[in-house]
């Protein structure tokens, strides 16, 4: 049966119109998210110690988490009532302040970084944010040397924001460190592009490692994973 030309045109017009409306809705939603995120950023920037830590991280080339990512970290640590958190990548302390703000009042953050100067800044940032010296244990060293020395099953949460090439290895360490039901979080997982790999686009070691991490979490059905599209992408999962 042939469709009359007028009916065909009407159907095509209606589909095109639906596509325009759905594109407009999508733009409106994106704008709404950006506006709300900007409000989060503003309220965080109005907060002295956090804003100082953030600025120091930017100046020091230790990129701090943005406010939306920080809010997600605080939310996660509060949601599980975290008492003991391991952080890889202290930087100048921005993510640590967010994590401490979510943890229970007597909770302890163990945070690891190779850079002593960054950690000195983070230590003073934690103090300025109102956290006593006993609330944060700063350990200097490479994470793959430090993490094996920490107690098996002794932590509620492991939060990673460091060298991406080691993300698969950090996941294995996190699985050992976390209690059952604990939460692991990786920042900066939005790597690569939609373009297929080929001679013109060869993924680098960081991208390969992040893909490996994502695949491992995706394919192991015992994890309860969540990919949060904030900042540079946050992958979180509940340990089986």
User: What is the closest distance, in whole angstroms, from the C-beta atom of residue 219 to ligand SAM in the complex?
Assistant: 26
Instruction: Kindly list the distances between the CA atom of residue 68 and the CA atoms of 7, 18, 30, 228, in Å, as whole numbers in the listed order.
Output: 48, 32, 14, 10
* Closest to ligand SAM by CB, 27 or 116: 116
- CA–CA separation, 190 vs 83, rounded Å? 29
**Which positions lie near ligand SAM, rule CB under 6 A?**
57, 62-65, 88-89, 91-95, 112-115, 118, 142-143, 161-163, 166
* Closest to ligand SAM by CB, 30 or 188: 188
* Closest to ligand SAM by CB, 186 or 201: 186
User: What is the closest distance, in whole angstroms, from the C-beta atom of residue 125 to ligand SAM in the complex?
Assistant: 9
* Closest to ligand SAM by CB, 166 or 236: 166
Instruction: Kindly list the distances between the CA atom of residue 124 and the CA atoms of 16, 89, 121, 127, 234, in Å, as whole numbers in the listed order.
Output: 57, 16, 5, 5, 27
**What token pair was written down for 218?**
């995706």
User: What is the closest distance, in whole angstroms, from the C-beta atom of residue 130 to ligand SAM in the complex?
Assistant: 17
User: What is the closest distance, in whole angstroms, from the C-beta atom of residue 165 to ligand SAM in the complex?
Assistant: 9
* Closest to ligand SAM by CB, 60 or 78: 60
Q: Could you give the angle at the alpha carbon of 86 between the alpha carbons of 84 and 88, nearest 5°? A: 165
Name the residue whose CB lies closest to ligand SAM. Answer: 91
Which residues are CB-contacts of 174 (< 8 A; sequence separation ≥ 6)?
A: 86, 158, 160, 184, 239
User: What is the closest distance, in whole angstroms, from the C-beta atom of residue 9 to ligand SAM in the complex?
Assistant: 55
- Give the start-end residues of each E strand in 64-163: 84-88, 108-113, 136-140, 155-160
Residue of 29, 40, 48 whose CA lies nearest to 70: 40
* Closest to ligand SAM by CB, 57 or 107: 57
User: What is the closest distance, in whole angstroms, from the C-beta atom of residue 94 to ligand SAM in the complex?
Assistant: 4
* Closest to ligand SAM by CB, 23 or 169: 169
| Contact between residue 74 and residue 99 where contact means Cβ atoms under 8 Å apart | yes
Strand order in the sheet with 224-228: 136-140, 108-113, 84-88, 155-160, 178-187, 234-238, 224-228
User: What is the closest distance, in whole angstroms, from the C-beta atom of residue 178 to ligand SAM in the complex?
Assistant: 18
């Amino acid at each position: 049966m042939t469709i009359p030309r007028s009916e065909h045109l009407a159907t095509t017009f209606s589909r095109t119109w639906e596509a325009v409306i759905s594109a407009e809705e999508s733009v409106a939603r994106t704008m709404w998210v950006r506006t709300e995120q900007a409000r989060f950023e503003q309220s965080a920037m109005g907060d002295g110690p956090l804003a100082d830590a953030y600025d120091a991280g930017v100046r020091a080339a230790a990129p701090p988490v943005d406010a939306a990512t920080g809010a997600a970290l605080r939310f996660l640590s509060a949601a599980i009532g975290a008492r003991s958190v391991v952080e890889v990548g202290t930087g100048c302390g921005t993510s640590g302040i967010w994590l401490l703000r979510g943890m229970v009042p007597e909770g302890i953050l163990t945070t690891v970084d190779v850079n002593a100067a960054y950690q000195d800044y983070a230590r003073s940032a934690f103090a300025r944010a109102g956290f006593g010296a006993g609330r944060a244990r700063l350990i200097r060293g490479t994470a793959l040397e430090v993490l094996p020395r920490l107690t098996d099953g002794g932590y509620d949460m492991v939060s990673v924001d460091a060298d991406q090439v080691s993300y698969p290895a950090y996941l294995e360490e996190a699985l050992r460190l976390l209690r059952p039901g604990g939460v692991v979080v990786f920042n900066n997982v939005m790597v690569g592009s939609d373009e297929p790999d080929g001679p013109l686009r060869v993924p680098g070691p960081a991208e390969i490692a992040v893909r490996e991490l994502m695949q491992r979490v995706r394919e192991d059905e015992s994890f309860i994973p969540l990919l949060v599209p904030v900042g540079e992408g946050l992958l979180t999962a509940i340990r089986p």
